[in-house]
Amino acid sequence: MPALCLCYEVHEPYRLCRYTVFDMGQNSLYEDDDHNCDALLLTARTCYLPMNDLLLKLIRRHGKAFKVAFSISGTALDQFEQYAPEVVESFQALADTGNVEFVAETAPHSLAFLYSRDEFDIQVREQCERIKRLFGKKPTTFRNTEFVYNNDLPVALEKLGFKAVLAEGADHVLGWRSPNYVYRPISTPRMRLLLRNSSLSTDIGLRFNDQGWDQWPLTAEKYASWCHSFAASSEIINIFNDYHSFGLRNPRESGIFDFMEALPAALLAHKDFHFVTPAEAARKIDAVGEVDVPEFMSWDDEGRDLTAWLGNDMQKDAIHTLYALAPRVRKVGAPDLARDFERLQTSDHFHYISTKWFADFLSDRPNPFDSPYDAYITYMNVLADFEMRLTAMEEAATEAGKTTRKTPRTTATGTAGKKRAAPAAKAGGAKKKTSA
């Protein structure tokens, strides 16, 4: 009885402004607020609000037979709350149906797992708490940024309490096997691994509006027939896409909303098919075997590797410089610094520096910079100013500590009414605590 699992990435980065060396030390306003606001409002109007309304309509029409999942980044939630709170409300309306699962990821949509496990843990816990606060339930399924995955990831996730993890169904990992089954990570047999069906996902995400595609135009009935053809050789079909596929990457004029409105009925017309959320699939469907992924993979391009973010020396220099600051940032504990530091970890910043893919950005996620070199220079200027702020706070904390230690202590007045010097602390005695 094949299951259908739909999960959508919902992510919006904070784009940087044109930050030059002349701005360093003068202002610490790194983000292009006007651009971010305009982009978010456009996306809300053309994608999030109409698509959420459609999904709510489909849930009311099909009841418990139709289900869906979302992986929403913390930077997307920040911008929803900042610029379009009605988007959060529309996701909450979906959550209230009980037919929607919210999958966890790192709060700033970062590559922290590659460079700092401490930072990764902080960001995942932060995002889980926020998802529970906004949507009422703590996530038990995890999807890493851009589906970056290897054998080490489920080990870390199991310690954080997760039961399932999503990943790309890459051919070089699966070999002759199909992604249309539930698997176990080789490193954590108790967890469940759900793999994306790349072909069926791409048919909607990238090919739907391609008039040069030999299957264009794609109808709900045609797509359902492709899924139904797997009935005898599948237990689950995982269709994972960027939510921008609806209204932005494929505009309304392409017929994408009409396609999605008709799709559930077309899929459910085959009596053996039913929709599940990732958590349900992990709980109800037995794993058929183990998957070994010793090297990192992602869902990007045909190579399914990390070259989109770490393919050249500029990208590596930027990300290594960034994560070298992590222990210092967390030690200082300043909220403003921590917020800026997390937003600087968003993977989009490193994607903009890519030379390999510079001419291949999708229309819904364009590169805001004229070249990868401009993106790199801007990012490093921002990072230099950020480190200046960090160093200043460290020095201020050190000076505050020195001042506190030098302040003489006095006791209450003696019987003669004169103040007496406090006795020196004995070796091993408690020291007075100071805060930065």
Looking at the annotation, which residues are catalytic? 146
| d(C-alpha 258, C-alpha 219), whole Å | 9
Dihedral (Cα; 173, 177, 179, 180), 10-degree rounding: -170
Cα–Cα dist 124/92, whole Å:
20
The 3-class secondary structure across 120-162, one letter per residue, is HHHHHHHHHHHHHHHHCCCCCEEECHHHCECCHHHHHHHHCCC
Q: How far apart are CA 417 and CA 434, in angstroms?
A: 30
Cα–Cα distance, 127 to 434 (Å, whole number): 31
- Cα angle, residue 52 at apex, residues 80 and 301 outer, rounded to 5°: 80
Do residues 100 and 94 lie in contact, with contact meaning Cβ atoms separated by under 8 Å? Answer: yes
Q: Cα–Cα distance between 140 and 194 in angstroms, integer?
A: 13
Reference 379, options 308, 315, 313, 309; nearest CA is 315
